[in-house]
Amino acid sequence: MSMIFGVPLAVLSGQLLIGIINGAFYALLSLGLAVIFGLLKIINFAHGAMYMLGAMTTVLMFDYLGVNYWVALLLAPLLVGAFGVAIEYFLLRRIAGQDHIYSLLLTFGIALIISGVLVNWFGVSGLRYAMPDMFKGGVNLGFMFMPYYRAWVIVAALVVCFGTWFVIEKTKLGAYLRAGTEDSQLMQGFGINVPLLISLTYGFGVALAAFAGVLAAPIYSVTPVMGSATLITVFAVVVIGGMGSIGGAIITGILMGVIEGLTKTFYPPASSAVIFLVMVLVLMFRPSGLFGKEA
């Protein structure tokens, strides 16, 4: 067996793979945060709860309605996205003119309610979601074993990330979004329905989180509290990358996943902390973030 730095290649590449997958989740989640932040200028503290809702709806729809994975992949983000639109319309909009701190606190309260209610219904021990049949097994790449599902997660996350980047940077709708980020009043003056755009943006960002949740359901333990710890890590990722660019959010997410995976191989005790340590370093030497423009 070939070794690299005293670690078997298979172990190293296995951890790298897990790192890339975790990174794909960080990328999807920080992308959603960045999209919401762009137009609404708020940090969505309910993002972790929405990710969790995506995973929970997938499991529950399967258990009670027999909805399969592929339908869930479409339906869960739609449902959670609609929920997000409702939250924006009924709650966030009411404090739109206020200090952004309030909307942050509001979404924090919403997250407490959602996860608290679900903990009561389902407890904190994980729900099981069976791996879809077609993803069972994997392929031997010679130096490592690649489970099909993991490969799928990477592909799906990258496609969605790239699609989002494309829509925002290259299409007319994206141009509206970017213009709204610059000056939403002027946009309104041009006859564009900004409130609707804001609702849909929040819904879309939240749907991205739910999509990540569906992807996570077969490989992570699905619990009502799965979102909160992930969200804090994603915050660190966002601080590292800055929310200035969509591409930056994606790259930083995957990079941090890989660093975490490598740490797990070489020095396991630090693996849960390493992203936060990177954040400290970035704050010391490049306070505006790797891709950020403003402080």
Partner 1 sequence: MNQPVNSADIHKAIVEEQAAQDRKKMMLNGVLLLILLAAPFMIYPVFLMKILCFALFAVAFNLLFGFTGLLSFGHAAFLATGGYTTGYLLSNYSGLTTEMGIIAGTLAATLLGTGFALLSIRRQGIYFAMVTLALAQLVFFFFVQSEFTGGEDGMHGIPRGELLGFINLEDNLNMYYFVLVVFIACYLLVQRIVNSPYGQVLKAIKQNEPRAVSLGYNVDRYKVLAFVISAALAGLAGSMKSVVFQLASLNDAHWHMSGEVILMTLVGGMGTLLGPVVGATFVVNIEYQLSQGALRDWVDPILGGIFVLTVLAFRSGIVGEIQKFVKKNLG
Residue 138 pairs with which residues in a beta bridge?
147
Write down the least CB distance from residue 72 to partner 1, Å.
26
Do 279 and 30 touch, CB atoms closer than 8 A?
no
Give the Cα separation of 28 and 72 in Å (integer).
17
Smallest separation (angstroms) from partner 1 to the CB of 66: 29
Both tokens of residue 88? 């924006």
Three-class SS state of 251: helix
CB of 41 to partner 1, least distance (A): 8
Is the Cβ of residue 118 or residue 161 nearer to partner 1 in the bound state?
118
Q: What six digits make up the tokens of 206?
A: 């939240």
Residues forming a β-bridge with 146: 139
Which one, of 232, 231, 205, 220, lies nearest residue 56 by Cα?
220
Residues that bind partner 1 (CB under 8 A): 37, 42-43, 91, 94-95, 98, 100-102, 104-106, 108-117, 119-120, 228, 232-233, 235-236, 238-239, 269, 272-273, 276-277, 279-280, 283-284, 287-288, 295
Task: State in angstroms the smallest separation of the CB of 133 from partner 1.
Answer: 37
Considering beta carbons, is residue 51 or 62 the nearer one to partner 1? Answer: 51
Which residue number, 64 or 285, has a Cβ lying nearer to partner 1? 285
Minimum distance from residue 52 beta carbon to partner 1 (Å): 14
Closest to partner 1 by CB, 2 or 120:
120
CB of 75 to partner 1, least distance (A): 25
In the complex, what is the shortest distance from the CB of residue 126 to partner 1, in angstroms, rounded to a whole number?
18
Q: With respect to partner 1, which residue has the nearer C-beta, 83 or 235?
A: 235
Q: Among residues 208 and 282, whose Cβ is nearest to partner 1?
A: 282
Residue 267, Cα to own-chain centre: how many angstroms?
26
The CA distance from 107 to 113, in Å, is 10
With b for 16 or more beta-carbon neighbours within 10 A and e for fewer, the 144-160 pattern comes to bebbebbbebbebbbeb
How many other C-beta atoms are found inside a 10 Å radius of the C-beta of residue 19?
A: 23
Return left, alpha or beta for 86; rule: phi > 0 is left, psi -120 to 50 is alpha, else beta. Answer: alpha
Q: Identify which of residues 214 and 275 has a Cβ nearer to partner 1 in the complex.
A: 275
Tokens representing residue 271 in the block: 């693996």
